[in-house]
Structure 1
């Protein structure tokens, strides 16, 4: 299924002043850590986190920063999984992508064009990819772009993304191909992993739409091809995944991100996340200058999640209990406020959240009261247990 792409201007390069400020934040000797589609999908899922938006925009290596803070991250692929994924991808693309085209139903397409996408730097590769896509569209043949480079503006800074492959069909339709090493057993894969792959692919589709808006006759398919090992073998199989929902959410959430220059402008002069010559206390003080929006989902998507979780727990923030719980509690923002409201020591009785907490506390006390013990005494004992 395809849709007419939305026309949009190419990503704007940061101003000289902003580039200098981001270099100061990153550290003069640190190379910028590139943003990828997985990071952008996680950023779009939590657009209220200014900390991640700034660190990603500045290209700070969050894994190294988390380790320096004393909260090393468990996020990311193991070396074994990385090597297995590369080997599987090489098998899928072997022999000019014949197996990949078979999975797309294009085995009878005849000659397949394999454009050369090499260029200097990510900007050059993105420009070369855009040219190759333009030349392939309307050529009447199938073109397979292996690891093209796409550009997308995120919070005022350009991000460069590299999908596994993009196939240009004879009718001018562009299809994103995502190759993953998790298995598809009996034509079904782990729902959480498929969801993560769909969110990642939606970022690629969004970036492709920016290119397709300037190419006559081009359209971007909103059904991406997910290629995985079949059952318990290393043979590839595929499934078409509709990413329209993920695309809509990603587009909306990325648009909500505060621009990086606005976040940087609110920080004290001289603040930096440079790891060289700085203690964990100094780095922690610098990181705490930028507001965060921790949620348990961050543990599966952000390298700084353990650090932010510790700080949220230390502050007693209800966000540490989950977004759904936070939404139910209304104006109660700390665990202390919640407990006080449940005990009847604070909060307006007419507040639905306060009334629900008091009702829950009463039911809990009644359930925990031993047989023959007055309810008031049982309530006091239950309250003491809750405080402990």
Structure 2
């Protein structure tokens, strides 16, 4: 067996080939993508594309199924402006919100250490962030604000570099993830779907911070209540809410552990396969189809290839296109054709609970239609 260093070099070379060659830089895997990947751990297609750093938006356009997924330029500009306002004046307002919502027992922040985290490349920034966290943990009693630190997390054999909006080190040495979003908190509450997405994203940062903490002695505590900072009502004034992400952290850790390792997926691919958007459409389609996907309607809000996978799922008549809850209820019936045949009594085991439920539903539907026809039938 080749030594680990040789194996790692061979894998990096293979992943570069999948992108289209070493001249194509890998697309960074961020926390939002990791949260989406963890929500669908059975999708080998997304795992290999993200692990290889393939630009899925460009790939979707080349396949003829461009995605509308992503933020508008206006939303990005508004979000950046709000974040700059929150962190202005050395993070005074951000630290006040952290003290108010997370750590009232501590001394109110009158100032904070804001270490310089600049370094060459993601690896250098990751090392600089860990050094800053180590120094902050070694000098308790003061507040420290890390602005856009860089964290690393191993995902299925591939390293993902993550950049939270901020990390706060409390006077007791504990660490808190800060998420700054541009959607509003109206009367102290926000859109549950958006809060849930922010919590799943923050859970990835918490996992990465826990890996850093585990390398320190003694290990600092990574808080599982993150600080979500948003505009207040319809103004541009920042307000905040403490969000418990223990559930999201546990689910994300479990799902990421279930991911098939990138090298295993790459090894199963035919020799010469590439996902370069520069390839002819037919060749590119064949390459993408060589990796099995697990499509669900939820992919439409989180994956650039969702439209392509949806079309293929519908062509195959897969029940996954109807949603994960429906798929879970149907057991071994994987296609719409199988479901209809089971409902008509033409296939399936009558002792199978899913088959029995389908036949019962079909009988009730037939009875209802017969009753409706009888009601509208003309009088003799």
Shorter-chain TM-score category? over 0.9
The alpha-carbon deviation at position 216 of structure 1 amounts to 2.8
Residue 176 of structure 1, CA deviation: 0.4
Distance 2:337 2:260 in 1: 30
Residue 104 of structure 2 is matched in structure 1 by none
Between the aligned partners of 2:373 and 2:282, the Cα distance in structure 1 is 54
Secondary structure, in 3 states, of the residue corresponding to 1:105? helix
Per mean C-alpha deviation after superposition, the further-off stretch among 297-306 and 344-353 is: 344-353
Partner of 1:308: 309
Partner of 2:179: helix, strand, or coil? Answer: strand
**Take 2:366 and 2:6, find their aligned partners in 1: how far apart are those partners?**
60
SS in 2 for 1:369: helix
1:152-163 matches, within 5 Å, as 152-163=153-164
Q: Secondary structure at the match of 1:183?
A: coil
Q: Are 1:97 and 2:78 an aligned pair?
A: no
How far 1:110 sits from its partner (Å)? 2.9
| Alpha-carbon RMSD | 1.6
Cα shift readout 1:147-171 (whole Å, capped 9, x = no counterpart)? 0000000000110000000001111
In the TM superposition, residue 361 of structure 1 has moved relative to its aligned partner by 0.8
1:351-366 aligned at under 5 Å gives the runs 351-366=352-367
CA distance in 2, matches of 1:272, 1:128: 35
Residue 292 of structure 2 corresponds to which residue in structure 1?
291
Local SS of the residue matching 2:57: helix
2:96–2:109 CA contact under 8 A, matched in 1: no
Partner of 1:124: 124
| Cα displacement string for residues 47-79 of structure 1 (whole angstroms, at most 9, x for unaligned residues) | 000000000000000000001101111111111
1:25 matched to which residue of 2?
18
> For residues 47-66 of structure 1, what are the structure 2 equivalents within 5 Å?
47-66=41-60
Instruction: Work out the number of aligned pairs and report it.
Output: 362
* Ranges in structure 1 where 5+ consecutive residues have no aligned partner: 1-11, 375-388
How has the CA–CA distance of structure 1 residues 349 and 272 changed in structure 2, closer, same or farther, with 3 Å as cutoff? same
**1:24 and 1:272 in contact (8 A); partners too:** yes
Return the TM-score normalized by structure 2.
0.93
Instruction: Name the structure 2 match of 1:38.
Output: 32
Deviation at 1:111, TM superposition (A): 3.3
Does the Cα contact within 8 Å between 1:185 and 1:231 map onto a contact in 2? yes
1:84 alignment partner in structure 2: 78
Change (3 A) 1:151 1:294: same
> 1:138 Cα deviation (Å)?
3.3
Query: What is the alpha-carbon distance in structure 1 between the residues aligned to residue 227 and residue 130 of structure 2?
Result: 21
**1:6-46 superposed Cα distances (whole Å, 9 cap, x missing partner):** xxxxxx99700000000000012321000000000000111
Taking the TM superposition and a 5 Å limit, the aligned residue runs for 1:1-388 are: 15-28=8-21, 29-105=23-99, 108-139=108-139, 140-217=141-218, 218-276=220-278, 278-369=279-370
SS of equivalent residue, structure 1 residue 231: coil
Match of 2:222, SS state, is strand
SS across alignment from 2:99: coil
